[in-house]
Structure 1
């Protein structure tokens, strides 16, 4: 990790600590500790187990996409690689956007394939994961619209989901239609920049324009191969949806652990809304996701729990969803990193 990336990560974690500190100040540390102290250890263990189910489901999605690209990888190795991907997402700013380059490197090492194919695979998985999250959030919003009147905050949150449901697919479609112009822009912009850096720091040779064009062409070719495989897309979407359901079960069980049951229907809307905060500059969305989850839970009329109870459940849920892949993935990244220098 270079100094700029390290500095960005440190700043990101300081921001996350600041947001979490503000949440604790507003709720009250003593009250939160009291609620967490009464949590059922058995149910908390179930939250961890469900988290492993989520990782496994999304590992199946990654394995399916890799299979479409002609990269055979066992389910166990896919699980380990995806855990490594989540580790990189959780320790770098901007979530997937910050962790995808590291994840592509993990895939290329674990599967002995080209870097651009690994990048195409994880980019495809991230895109496919977006579809069920927005779909489930819209279903949840539609359900609540028939049950109760939306308040201002809930209307605002629903508006964000609708905008994302329209804007992101539109941006992806527009980018794909103009992929050749994008390729020309990347080559014209970054190749001269890399050459200047190489002239100052002659520790690597600058790539030629033909080499960069070839790599970008292979990346786009891999994306097109995934996009045209309907069976692979269907399997990956099913696995992705199952992973989201596991996450929703995890938050639902977290409320059960503190004896504050909430309707499962609320999870359809709450969990995807929390995931949207993962695009913030905070590592893995830490702090931002917790704040959004508590805010949305407080805005739902069907969820009659205190802010303390909401934060306690979110702490249990996020403790599993954040730290389980960090622990497993950290080991994976360390082992692959050691192998690369041995």
Structure 2
């Protein structure tokens, strides 16, 4: 049973994840109503870094210096930082209310029986306590000064994290890919979202973290600085998976023989309230003979039968490439606990002279 009992926009704010989903569909040539999916916002004091009282800088200074939970200005954000004795000064951690940014700069590396780096992170303990079984989504805009992907971001040591006390519960540098989302929102600015189902390790107040903590990274590969903006947190009550919604239709489901389909096969897994269900395994199955397609999943291999795990917003998707035979066929979607089988209707066609290209599934 879900915890949300109130109704209306004052009780629940519309889920921010819908914006990312809308962009995903737009990129695939789709424009669809996503449905009613909601989340409770959790207040992150000075999450936009606009409070003059929280402006200040910690870190820097002497070689080998360090600090733990150093208050920045009057708080609420704190900074932890470290250098390397006699070799590296710690980085500087600065919050600027004028630019509404939190920046970590001065990261370096040195060879000391192997590459070692200095590092640092911002952290804040919130007033709210963890609640077992709820799904939390932490988000922040991250500007590393260059284009990155999730692997590069993680390898560089840049990330956001959930903590209980000093214990890391989930981190963008090590999270499962389906519970991590990276969306380009500016020239070098990314919106990073991290999802976490609160388990028995999550006790006491919620603690959030934003850091730049490289390990064994050569100086030439280090980022000059990393800037964070617009930190947000929301919590969702996710029910059991109850239904599929097919989100790819029309021309995106036809391709010339031997060629890839122009759109991914996207399905939304919903609970009884219409909310997307993250972390759920879906099986996509195409025919093994005749006209068919080779499916490729970002989380479950390649073939005529593959699995995919739903992301933060409950989306599962695979790409498809038509085989060498013209014809129309179905790709089905199934999952444990959902009684229905969802179906994509695909068409392979041929433009070769003398080949009777088949028309079906509504294509004229």
> Could you say which TM-score interval applies, normalised by the shorter chain?
under 0.3
Q: Which one has a larger percent helix, Structure 1 or Structure 2?
A: 1
- The higher radius of gyration belongs to 2
Instruction: Using structure 2 for the length normalisation, give the TM-score.
Output: 0.18
Q: Which one has a larger percent strand, Structure 1 or Structure 2?
A: 2
Instruction: Using structure 1 for the length normalisation, give the TM-score.
Output: 0.19
Q: Structure with the greater relative contact order (CA < 8 A, sep ≥ 6): 1 or 2? A: 1
